[in-house]
Amino acid sequence: MKQLVFATNNAHKLDEVRKILGGKFDILSLREIGCNDDIAETAETFEGNALIKARYIHDKYGCDCFADDSGLEIDALGGAPGVYSARYAGEAHDSEKNMAKVLEQLQGEENRAARFRTAIALILDGKEHLFEGEIKGRIIEERRGAGGFGYDPIFIPDGETRTFAEMSDAQKNGISHRARAVAKLVAFLESWS
């Protein structure tokens, strides 16, 4: 089985990607390769941040790897929180505070269109590849659901009546931005191997 390092220690992301990949690849976390470094995400785009993380791991550990950067973009907020999604309300990566800030900023706003975007950077045999995924939807006025993570309780994908947090992992993983980007990654890996 092909071994790949996923440049993350985010347990939610790791679990989600492992479920999407369905055991086709042996996915290792940063912790599993002994990396506890805090890799600064200093780019202004999801693609840039994903490349920073993948290049860091490839250069330091010499292994095939991939990294992602994801976030929520809200039309009425000019694309914010964007690359600052995880730390929108401060450096603590507090999902509750992040959601509260978004809901406060959207109070009275009719345009609640939003999208989740993911960029994945893969470095395989020294070559870089980029894959993107996106899902459009809207921000609701109050939190709903106990599943998911991040902004999932306030985001309803187009064509749905439930938030991501009201869906099972399998339902969310079948349509999410990350699922779409990972599907492109998997298709590439299967054609490569």
Distance CA 76, CA 51 (A): 28
Cα–Cα separations (whole angstroms), residue 91 to 56, 84, 118, 148, 189? 22, 10, 21, 21, 35
Distance CA 53, CA 66 (A): 8
Q: Is 15 a catalytic residue?
A: no
Lookup: tokens for 15: 């679990």
85-94 CB contacts, 8 Å cutoff, 24+ apart: 85/150, 85/151, 86/150
**CB neighbour list of residue 135: distance below 8 Å, 6 or more residues apart:** 115, 116, 157, 158, 175, 176, 177, 180
Residue with tokens 């939003």: 114
Instruction: Give burial (CB, 10 Å; 0-12/13-18/19+) of 183.
Output: middle
Catalytic residue among 26, 37, 64, 69: 69
| Catalytic residue annotation | 69
